[in-house]
Amino acid sequence: MKLEELKVYQISMDLADEVHDLVTQWDHFYKYSTAQQLLDAADSISANISEGFGRFHFKDHKNFLYFSRGSLFETKTWLTKAYRRNLITEEKFNELIEKYNSLGIKLNNYINSIGPKNS
């Protein structure tokens, strides 16, 4: 299987693009503060999936998937900050949080599918 065929990777790439399109609309101050942190966290999800995919050992692979999951939670925190700072609407916030929650479930399932059950 190729990395680009992994559904969890595809979704994480699409969501990072959605975040990118959102934050590029913000004013200068927020682009270089909240936006940069949010985008870095969102981009890190797929980057860590990719790095883990390229690792030889199951434990290394899983470790990077755990980093990816951490970045997912960081992304949700930055989305919460953006909402609390009135940078995104409640509707957009709820939509993105729901998408990231769904990605989190898929990422956990992927983590559980890697290697032997006791690793």
> What b/e sequence results for 25-34 when a residue is b if at least 16 CB atoms lie within 10 Å of its CB, and e otherwise?
ebeeebeeeb
Structural domains of the chain ordered from first start: 3-113 (1.20.1440.60)
Q: What is the mean pLDDT of residues 74-89?
A: 97
For 114, the token pair is 């890697």
Q: In this predicted structure, what is the pLDDT of residue 118? A: 56
CA distance 50 to 68: 9
CA distance 97 to 75: 9
**What is the overall mean pLDDT for the chain?**
94
Q: In this predicted structure, what is the pLDDT of residue 1? A: 84
CA distance 24 to 47: 20
pTM: 0.93
Q: Identify which of 21, 30, 36, 38 has the alpha carbon closest to the alpha carbon of residue 97.
A: 38
Q: How confident is the model at residue 119 (pLDDT cuts 50, 70, 90)?
A: very low
Q: What is the mean pLDDT of residues 84-104?
A: 97
Tens-digit pLDDT profile for residues 26-66: 998 888 889 999 999 999 999 999 999 998 898 999 999 99
Counting Cβ atoms within 10 Å, is residue 74 exposed (0-12), middle (13-18) or buried (19+)? Answer: middle
